[in-house]
Every structure is written in C-alpha cells, then in structure tokens.
C-alpha cells in the first residue's frame, strides 16, 4: 500500500469521529443532554490520533519527502497544510478547555464546545478533501515510485519508535464508542 493510501485510510477514521463530533455538537445546540465525557473523548481522539499519530507521519515523513523533491515548505500547498494543522491544534486546545468547563458545569461552556467543535469539523473536512484529492496526488507524482517503499518504512518506524504499539486500536475503539453514543 502506498503511503498516501495509508494516510487516506486514517482519514476515514478521522472523518468518522468528525461525524460523531458534529452530531454531538448539534444535539447539544438543540438542547439535548450530551455527556461532557463524549467531548473529552473526542478531544482525546483528535489530539492523540489526528495530531500525534496521523500528522506526525504527514509532517515528519511525507511532507519532508515532498520538500526533498522540489516542493517549497514556505508558500504553496505544504505551507497551507501546515498552517491548517496549526489551526486545528488551536481549535483542539480550545475544545479541550471548553470541555473542561462543561464538565465543571460552567455557564456558557456548552456554547464554546459547540463553536470549537463545529469549527474543527469544518476545518478538518476541507483539509482532508484537499489532501485526499490534491496534495496526495501531487506527492505520488513527484516522489519517484522507487522511494515509496522507503516512505512506508519510515511510517512504520514512526509508528514503532515514536507512537508505540496499540495506538491505532485504542483510537479505533474511541471512534467506535463515539459513533455508538451518537447513533
């Protein structure tokens, strides 16, 4: 499997959580009770899987390979993707902080959770669309086929040495739990 296909597969899991987060925020906005733990788990997934696992491979391996084959890191598509990763991190921090306030029953916390949750969902859906349909095709076109196996090996090294065992299973279970809670 090509490295970009691995990332697209991870996007499917992230999109599943985006759907659950959107439903949770919509229910909260409609006045339904949604446990604060739901949003705590969603923020944990976003931080632990979307950022610490998925983005680590994109930024630390794929984007570096693209730069080595002539893509500028400053300006152009990589700069846009990196800026969006940073914006997603800001939304994630704000979602986590507002979720803590919601857990404590602070006034106005629900509105913050809805705002930051929906902002994250909107950003990530557009971001994933750009990566899946534009950036990854560019990567596949610029990186010689002979180097794809090395990128996949680097992904495996990141998984083994930086992320650790059982991470995918942990976050797949969280994604499933979130989906079931919003079914």
Going by C-alpha positions, the residue among 24, 50, 49 that lies closest to residue 36 is 24
Dihedral (CA of 96, 97, 100, 106) sign: negative
Q: What is the pLDDT of residue 94?
A: 97
Q: What is the pTM of this model?
A: 0.95
Average pLDDT, integer, range 91-117: 96
Q: How far is 68 from 46, CA to CA, in rounded Å?
A: 29
Average pLDDT, integer, range 152-173: 94
pLDDT tens digits for 79-96?
Answer: 999 999 999 999 999 999
pLDDT-derived band at 2 (thresholds 50, 70, 90) equals confident
Q: What is the pLDDT of residue 75?
A: 86
Q: How far is 75 from 64, CA to CA, in rounded Å?
A: 14
Average pLDDT, the chain: 95
Average pLDDT, integer, range 88-107: 95
Q: What 3-state class would DSSP assign to 7?
A: helix
Q: Which CATH number fits domain 3-181: 3.40.50.2300, 3.30.1330.10, 1.20.120.520, 3.20.20.70?
A: 1.20.120.520
Dihedral (CA of 7, 51, 174, 132) sign: negative
Helix (H) / strand (E) containing 35: none
pLDDT tens digits for 54-85?
Answer: 999 999 999 999 999 999 989 899 999 999 99
Average pLDDT, integer, range 103-116: 95
Average pLDDT, integer, range 140-169: 93
Q: What is the DSSP letter of 74?
A: S
Asked whether the beta carbons of 21 and 178 are under 8 A apart, the reply is yes
């Amino acid at each position: 499997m090509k490295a970009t296909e691995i990332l697209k597969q991870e996007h499917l899991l992230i999109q599943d959580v985006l759907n659950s987060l959107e439903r949770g925020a919509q229910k909260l906005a409609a006045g339904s009770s949604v446990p604060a733990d739901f949003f705590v788990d969603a923020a944990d997934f976003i931080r632990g899987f979307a950022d610490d696992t998925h983005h680590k491979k994109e930024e630390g391996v794929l984007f570096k390979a693209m730069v080595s084959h002539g893509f500028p890191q400053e300006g152009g598509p990589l700069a846009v993707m990196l800026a969006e990763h940073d914006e997603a991190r800001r939304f994630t921090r704000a979602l986590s902080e507002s979720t803590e306030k919601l857990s404590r029953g602070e006034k106005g916390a629900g509105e913050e959770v809805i705002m930051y949750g929906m902002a994250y969902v909107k950003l990530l859906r557009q971001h994933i669309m750009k990566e899946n349909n534009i950036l990854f095709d560019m990567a596949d076109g610029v990186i010689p086929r002979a180097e794809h196996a090395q990128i996949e090996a680097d992904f495996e090294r990141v998984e083994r040495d930086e992320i650790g065992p059982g991470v995918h299973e942990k976050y797949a279970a969280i994604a499933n739990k979130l989906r079931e809670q919003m079914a």
